[in-house]
């Protein structure tokens, strides 16, 4: 059976539950990338993210009835399941963020940038990014997900609140505390005397 | 706006979620307070780094091996589901067949017992003229005769009947109203004409009763 581009997720899921492999594949292709990116950014590990996304879609294969269309979209549901899996992963795994792994991912995703920069500039940029990445990974998970959703994924507060199934006020507060923690941590790491040269008024 | 308020709301400067008056107040405070200006500048740098970090993985996708594994799992799950459905269907059909058989059998049994209840209570025993044959066993509690005696010696011949040869005769025990004995040519006491009695009939090979006997343990019911 042909898959129409405008076919809704719910219709595809129904077909998938009846054994239509193409419908399932289409669903997977529609949703895997944002879920994977969210998992990578939250866990800092592409392996963990891969496992998490696989788990999420395995659940969709085995228990498609867990999704209730009356409670929200399939995308939001998958986001919620991914988030739960990420939290479980973070609970049972020590913070073993690998800078090398992340650096490789960065290099793979932006080879042209790597070629355009001088080695010194590239090294400086990379170091700063690694510091930021490490600082994000070091945040408590609830602040981290607010930062990941609103800053890295550039979601609006409303979108983030829907994704995390919490009020917008909670997002604001988590974001505020997450930003404060990040700033404090990076200031400590860099020890840059930025405040000193702010002489404008 | 105070520095504390700016720390909460000021970092959102430029965000579409923030309303106009708050943004204006934050901008005003930013011009007046170098500490908050430095904080804001730090935040802008950090935000740029965060966005850059996000951009690094903006195109990231799950490796294709995950799709392969999921499709394999999908096929395996489909097969298992089909097998399970066939298993359940098979057992369901078998259970339905057993139930149907049991229901039919019970129905047949009930129908059959109803037919038996409609017919007179008949017990057959081969006739014999030997008095050494076993006497009928009786249930003393219920007073019910379980087996007819096969001794033909104590039968009373019906009028116009010849005694049948013992090997051709059969003793048939029936339950009837006493009045029915009149049809056989016997005299009946009218006071007890409505009583139910058990009667042994000596039936010849032509199927007609030749002689009659009232067993000693007669069940007389008044219904």
What's the distance, CA B206 to chain centroid? 50
Contacts of B50 in chain A (CB under 8 A): 132, 136, 147, 151-152
**Residue A80 in domain:** yes
One domain for residues A155 and A121: yes
What pLDDT is attached to residue A154? 86
What pLDDT is attached to residue A2? 62
What pLDDT is attached to residue B38? 85
ipTM of the shown complex: 0.73
Interface contact B58, partner A, CB < 8 A? yes
Q: Is the pLDDT of residue B117 over 70?
A: no
One domain for residues A90 and A119: no
One domain for residues A60 and A131: no
Comparing B9-13, B82-86, B179-183, which segment has the lowest mean pLDDT? B9-13
Interface contact B28, partner A, CB < 8 A? no
Cβ(A37)–Cβ(B58) below 8 Å: yes
- Summarize the confidence of residues B165-188 as an average pLDDT: 82
Look up the pTM and report it: 0.59
CATH code for the domain in which residue A161 is found: 1.10.10.10
Examine the fold and report which residue of A94, A127, A150 is the final residue of a domain before the chain moves on: A94
Interface contact A8, partner B, CB < 8 A? no
What pLDDT is attached to residue A1? 58
- Summarize the confidence of residues B165-171 as an average pLDDT: 78
What pLDDT is attached to residue B219? 45
Q: What is the 3-state secondary structure (H, E, C) of A139-190?
A: CCHHHHHHHHHHHHCCCCHHHHHHHHCCCHHHHHHHHHHHHHHHHHHHHHHH
What pLDDT is attached to residue A199? 41
What pLDDT is attached to residue B205? 81
Residues spanned by the domain of A16: 7-94
What pLDDT is attached to residue B57? 84
- Testing the interface with B: which of A57, A114, A122, A159 to mutate, by most B Cβ within 10 A? A57
What pLDDT is attached to residue B217? 47
Q: Which position has the higher pLDDT, B20 or A111?
A: B20
Measured CA to CA in angstroms, residue A177 lies from A64, A181, A184, A194, B122 at distances of 37, 6, 11, 21, 99
**Residue A152 in domain:** yes
Consecutive sets of 10 residues in chain A, 201 residues long: mean pLDDT of each?
A: 75 89 92 92 90 94 89 88 91 60 49 63 82 89 90 88 87 90 82 47 36
**Residue A178 in domain:** yes
Angle, vertex CA B42, rays to CA B39 and CA B46, nearest 5: 135
What pLDDT is attached to residue A119? 81
CATH code for the domain in which residue A71 is found: 1.10.1740.10
What pLDDT is attached to residue B137? 43
DSSP-derived 3-state class of residue B184: helix
**Residue A103 in domain:** no
- Summarize the confidence of residues B194-205 as an average pLDDT: 85
CB contact burial A100-139 (16+ within 10 A = b; e otherwise) = eebbebbeeebeeeeeeeeeeeeeebbebbbbbbbbbbeb
Tens digits of residue pLDDT in B49-73: 888 888 888 888 889 999 999 999 9
Examine the fold and report which residue of A62, A94, A126 is the final residue of a domain before the chain moves on: A94
What are the sequence ranges of the domains in chain B?
3-56, 123-213
What pLDDT is attached to residue B184? 81
What pLDDT is attached to residue B5? 80
| Cα-based torsion angle of the residue sequence A37, A43, A47, A51 in order, rounded to the nearest 10 degrees | -80
- Diameter of chain A measured on Cα atoms: 67
The pLDDT-based confidence of B17 (bands split at 50, 70, 90) is low
Cβ(A59)–Cβ(A81) below 8 Å: yes
Interface contact A194, partner B, CB < 8 A? yes
Alpha-carbon distance A125 to A129, whole Å?
Answer: 6
Cβ neighbours around B181 below 10 Å, total: 19
Contacts of A21 in chain B (CB under 8 A): 71, 74-75, 78
One domain for residues A81 and A120: no
What's the distance, CA A43 to chain centroid? 8
**Residue A182 in domain:** yes
One domain for residues A18 and A59: yes
**Residue A194 in domain:** no
Two structure tokens written together for A193: 């005397």
Q: Is the pLDDT of residue B7 over 80?
A: no
Examine the fold and report which residue of A64, A94, A124 is the final residue of a domain before the chain moves on: A94
Cβ distance B78 to A21 less than 8 Å, yes or no, reads yes
The DSSP element (H or E) to which B173 belongs, if any, is strand B170-177
Domain count, chain A: 2
């Amino acid at each position: 059976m042909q898959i129409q581009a405008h076919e809704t997720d719910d219709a595809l899921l129904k077909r998938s539950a009846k054994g239509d492999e193409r419908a399932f594949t289409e669903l997977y292709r529609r949703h895997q990338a944002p879920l994977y990116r969210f998992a990578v950014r939250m866990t800092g590990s592409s392996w963990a993210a891969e496992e998490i996304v696989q788990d999420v879609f395995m659940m969709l294969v085995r228990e498609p009835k867990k999704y209730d269309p009356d409670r929200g979209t399939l995308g939001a549901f998958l986001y919620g399941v991914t988030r739960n899996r990420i939290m479980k992963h973070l609970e049972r795994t020590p913070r073993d963020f690998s800078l090398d792994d992340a650096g490789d991912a960065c290099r793979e995703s932006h080879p042209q940038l790597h070629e355009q920069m001088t080695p010194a500039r590239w090294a400086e940029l990379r170091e700063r990014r690694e510091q930021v990445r490490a600082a994000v990974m070091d945040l408590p998970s609830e602040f981290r997900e607010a930062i990941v959703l609103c800053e890295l994924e550039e979601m609006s507060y409303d979108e983030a609140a829907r994704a995390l199934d919490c009020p917008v006020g909670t997002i604001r507060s988590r974001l505020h505390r997450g930003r404060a923690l990040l700033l404090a941590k990076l200031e400590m790491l860099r020890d840059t005397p930025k405040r000193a040269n702010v002489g404008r008024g | 706006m105070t520095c504390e308020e700016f720390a909460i709301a000021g970092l959102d400067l430029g965000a579409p979620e923030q309303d106009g008056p708050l943004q204006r107040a934050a901008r005003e405070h930013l011009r007046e307070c170098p500490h908050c200006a430095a904080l804001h500048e730090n935040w802008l740098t950090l935000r740029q780094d965060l966005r850059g970090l996000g951009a690094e993985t903006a195109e990231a996708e799950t490796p294709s091996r995950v799709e392969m594994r999921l499709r394999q799992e999908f096929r395996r799950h489909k097969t298992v589901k089909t097998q399970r459905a066939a298993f359940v269907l098979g057992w369901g059909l078998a259970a339905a067949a057993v139930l149907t058989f049991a229901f039919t059998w019970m129905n047949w049994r009930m129908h059959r017992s109803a037919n038996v209840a409609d017919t007179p209570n008949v017990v057959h025993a081969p006739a014999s003229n030997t008095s050494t044959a076993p006497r009928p066993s009786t249930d003393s509690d219920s007073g019910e005769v379980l087996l007819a005696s096969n001794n033909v010696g104590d039968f009373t011949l019906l009028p116009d009947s010849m005694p049948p040869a013992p090997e051709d005769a059969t003793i048939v025990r029936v339950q009837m109203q006493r009045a029915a004995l009149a049809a056989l040519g016997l005299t009946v006491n009218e006071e007890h004409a409505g009583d139910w009695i058990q009667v042994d009939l000596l039936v010849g090979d032509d199927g007609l009763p030749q002689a009659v006997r009232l067993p000693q343990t007669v069940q007389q019911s008044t219904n």
